[in-house]
Structure 1
Amino acid sequence: MSINTALLSGVSGLKANSSALASVSDNIQNANTVGYKRVRNDFTAMLIEQSHVSSYNAGGVRATQSAEIADQGSIQASSTSTHLAVSGDGMFVTRLKSDDATASDQYYFTRAGQFSPDEDGFLQNTAGYYLYGWPADESGAPDTVGSTNLGSLEPVQVTGIDGIAEATSNMSISANLDASEAVSTAATTYDLATNPGVSMASGAVTPDFQTTVQIYDSLGGTRTVAMSFLKSPTANEWFAEIHAVPASAMQATGLPDGLLASGTVAFTSDGQLDMANTTLPTSLSIGASDTPVTAPAVGWAASEGLSAQTINFDFAGANTTGGITQYESASELSKSSVDGVAFGVLAQIEVDDDGNVNALFTNGLSRPIYKLPLASFANPSGLITEAGGAYSASIDAGSVILAAANQNGSGLINSYSLEGSTVDLAEEFTNLIVVQRAYSASSKIITTADEMLNELIQLKR
Structure 2
Amino acid sequence: MSLQGALNASISALSAQSTALSVISDNLANSQTTAYKSSSTSFSSLVAGSGTNSSGGVAATMVSNVDQQGLLVQSTDATHLAIEGDGFFIVSDGTDATSTYYTRDGEFTVDSDGYLTNGGYYLLGWTTDADGEVTGGTSENSLEAIDLDSVQSSVDATSSVEFQANLPADAEVGDSFETSFEVYDSLGTTSTVTATYSKTAENTWEIAYSDPTLSSTGETIGTVTSAAVEVTFNADGTLASTNPDPAELTIEGWTTGAADSSITLGLGDADSTTGLTQYASDDGDPSIDVQSIDQDGLAYGNLSSIEISDDGSVIAFFDNGEERSIYQIPIATFGNPDGLEEDSEGIYSRSSTSGNATLHEAGEGGAGSIQGGWLEASTVDTGEEFSNMMSAQQAYSAASQIMSTASDMFDTLLDAVR
TM-score range for the pair, normalised by the shorter chain length: 0.7 to 0.9
What percent identity do the matched residue pairs reach?
37
Q: CA deviation at 1:157?
A: 1.8
* C-alpha RMSD over aligned residues: 2.9
**Are 1:158 and 2:148 an aligned pair?**
yes
**Contact 1:241/1:259, CA 8 A, preserved across alignment:** no
CA contact (8 A) 1:240 1:280 kept: no
Q: Distance in 2 between matches of 1:231 and 1:404?
A: 59
TM norm structure 2: 0.87
Counterpart of 2:234, as a letter, is T
Segments of 5+ residues of structure 1 without an aligned counterpart are 185-206, 251-256, 287-297
CA distance in 1, matches of 2:378, 2:114: 27
Give 2:252's aligned residue: 299
The residue number in structure 2 matching 1:438 is: 395
Equivalent residue of 1:304, what SS? coil
What is the CA distance between 1:334 and its match in structure 2?
2.4
Change over 3 Å in CA distance of 1:179–1:434 after alignment to 2: closer
Deviation at 1:163, TM superposition (A): 4.1
Letter in 1 for 2:164: S
- Is the 8 Å Cα contact of residues 48 and 54 (structure 2) preserved in structure 1? yes
Aligned to 2:354: 397
Given that 1:171 and 1:314 are in contact with CA atoms closer than 8 Å, whether structure 2 keeps it comes out as yes
- 2:208 pairs with 1:244: no
Which residue identity lines up with residue 271 of structure 1 in the other structure? Answer: G
Describe the shift of the 1:45–1:339 C-alpha distance in structure 2 as closer, same or farther (beyond 3 A).
farther
Shift of residue 39, structure 1, vs aligned partner: 0.7
Q: How far off its partner does 1:120 sit?
A: 1.8
Q: Note if contact 1:30-1:423 (Cα within 8 Å) is conserved in structure 2.
A: yes
Query: Residues of 1 paired with 2:276 and 2:249: CA distance?
Result: 22
* Residue 210 (structure 1) shift: 3.8
Relative to structure 1, is the Cα distance of residues 338 and 265 closer, same or farther in structure 2, using a 3 angstrom cutoff?
same
For 1:180 and 1:119, the matched residues in 2 are separated by 62
1:137 and 2:129 are equivalent in the alignment = yes
Distance between the aligned counterparts of 1:111 and 1:283, measured in 2? 56
- Amino acid corresponding to residue 306 of structure 1 in structure 2: A
Q: Cα 1:307–1:437, aligned 2, differ >3 Å: closer, same or farther?
A: farther
Partner residue, 1:10: 10
The question of 1:279 aligning with 2:271 is answered no
Shift of 1:448: 2.7
Amino acid at match of 2:225: L
Q: TM-score, normalised by structure 1?
A: 0.79
Q: Does 1:227 align with 2:195?
A: yes
Partners of 1:29 and 1:81 lie apart in 2 by 27
- Number of the residue aligned with 1:338: 294
1:77 aligns with 2:92: no
Instruction: Report if aligned partners of 1:82, 1:415 keep a CA contact under 8 Å in 2.
Output: yes
CA distance in 2, matches of 1:143, 1:135: 6
Please tell me the residue identity of whatever aligns with 1:434. Answer: S
The answer as to 2:33 corresponding to 1:61 is no
Kindly provide the amino acid, as one letter, of the partner of residue 154 in structure 1: E
> Is the 1:248–1:258 contact (alpha carbons within 8 Å) kept by the matching residues of 2?
no
Task: Give the match for residue 259 of structure 1.
Answer: 225
1:321 pairs with 247, 268, 273, which one?
Answer: 273
1:236-283, Cα deviation, whole Å (9 max, x unpaired): 444443443349533xxxxxx5233434222223332213xx322436
Q: Counterpart of 1:432 in 2: which secondary structure?
A: helix
Q: Deviations over 1:190-242 (max 9, x none)?
A: xxxxxxxxxxxxxxxxx844432223334443222233344456x64444434
Deviation at 1:307, TM superposition (A): 4.8
- Deviation of 1:416 after TM superposition, in Å, equals 2.1
1:444–1:137 Cα change, 3 Å: same
Shift of 1:427: 0.7
SS in 1 for 2:310: coil
Q: Secondary structure at the match of 1:312?
A: strand
Look up the equivalent residue of 2:15 and give its one-letter code.
K
Over 3 Å counting, the alpha-carbon distance change for 1:336 and 1:452 in structure 2 is same
Amino acid at match of 1:108: Y
